[in-house]
Amino acid sequence: MGVGIEVTTLNAWYGTNHTLQDINLNIPANHATALIGPSGCGKSTFVRCLNRMHETNPIARVTGTVRIGDLDIYADAKPVEIRRRVGMVFQRPNPFPTMSIYDNVAAGLKLNGFRNHRALDEIVEKSLKNSALWDEVKDDLKKKSGASLSGGQQQRLCIARALAVDPEVLLMDEPASALDPVSTSKIEDLIFQLKSQYTIVIVTHNMQQAARVAEKTGFFLNGRMVEFDSTHKIFTNPSDKRTEDYITGRFG
């Protein structure tokens, strides 16, 4: 089941560049939350702070508190433990190119020492079904490389790979921006189904997409969170003038 995320005075830097400034935010459990904003506003950095991927860059720095469920992720746990609880899907599909479809999905478990083959078979099947890819790949699970699939299939493979480690939160950093409209709508359907089991945070450039999949939406601008509210309110009656300007297409 998903858990809520509580962010308090989060600040992040790349070198001397202060990319996130005093972010405070409560993301509800088992819902989809969209983050919108112009390029470079800090929304990708923000989601990377939620699974401590931000700090994999040697010049990056973070301060503040992030609680995921009852875990203070910067105080109580190691990055690897957090990343098993908080899955991530990236902008460009990034399957492991030398691995089969099966091994791609099983990678997170196998590389952490999971050796029960029968259980692994079941998890791979369940994850691929959850990511709506099972029917398309079930005949060549171990024969084909993950890289041989189409872009949209690869992205669903990456979602299956993230789901296989049974996370509580799923972060998606513009998961459909490199995909065609048909693949995009498949990913959106998937988010709709998955949010009953996981807390989903999705960064998107596409405002219609945010409106379609998310209950809550946050608007980021220049490293600050300008407004966070129900998606309906953000898109119909935003409280902040800058949000209104952005969603009506006056800038960004």
Partner 1 sequence: MTDSAATGLAVLSTLLVIAPLVAIFVYLVFKGGSSLSWAFFTQIPKPEGELGGGMANGIVGSCVLLAISSSIGIPIGIGGGIYLAEFGRGTRLANTVRFTADVLNGLPSIVMGMAIYSLLVYRQKHFSAFSGGVALGIMMIPTVCRTTEEMLLMVPNAVREAALALGVSNWRSVLSITVKTASPGIITGCMLAFARVAGETAPLIFTALGNSNWSINPNEAISALPLQIYYYALSPYDDLHRLAWAGALVLIILIVLAVSLVRYVASRGVLKGAS
Residue 104 C-beta: closest distance to partner 1, Å = 9
Q: Which 18-57 residues touch partner 1, going by CB under 8 A?
A: 51, 53, 56
Q: Give residue for tokens 């297409």.
A: 249
Q: Which 62-91 residues touch partner 1, going by CB under 8 A?
A: 80-85, 87-88, 90
CA nearest neighbour of 201 among 69, 61, 87 = 87
- 33, β-bridge pairs: 201, 216
Q: Which amino acid is at 112?
A: N
- Identify the residue among 26, 63, 112, 239 touching partner 1 (CB under 8 A): 112
Tell me whether residue 52 or residue 242 sits nearer to partner 1 (CB atom): 52
Residue 252 C-beta: closest distance to partner 1, Å = 26
Our finding on whether 100 is near partner 1 (CB under 8 A) is: yes
Instruction: Estimate the crossing angle of helix 151-164 against helix 117-130, to 10 degrees.
Output: 130
Tell me whether residue 36 or residue 47 sits nearer to partner 1 (CB atom): 47
- Identify the residue among 63, 111, 122, 232 touching partner 1 (CB under 8 A): 111
- Identify the residue among 6, 125, 136, 140 touching partner 1 (CB under 8 A): 140
Tokens of 69: 């469920």
Binding to partner 1 by CB under 8 A, coded x per residue (else -) over 141-180, reads --xxx-xxx--------x--xx--x---------------
Residue 83 C-beta: closest distance to partner 1, Å = 4
How long, in residues, is the chain? 252
Helix (H) or strand (E) holding 247: helix 241-247
The three-state secondary structure class of 201 is strand
Tell me whether residue 113 or residue 181 sits nearer to partner 1 (CB atom): 113
Residue 105 C-beta: closest distance to partner 1, Å = 11
The three-state secondary structure class of 135 is helix
Tell me whether residue 54 or residue 242 sits nearer to partner 1 (CB atom): 54
Phi and psi torsions of 85, nearest 5°: -90, -20
Strands across the sheet with 169-173, in order? Answer: 86-89, 169-173, 199-203, 32-36, 216-221, 224-230
Q: How far apart are CA 199 and CA 50, in angstroms?
A: 12
- Binding footprint of partner 1 on the chain (CB under 8 A): 51, 53, 56, 58, 80-85, 87-88, 90, 92, 94-100, 107-108, 111-112, 140, 143-145, 147-149, 158, 161-162, 165
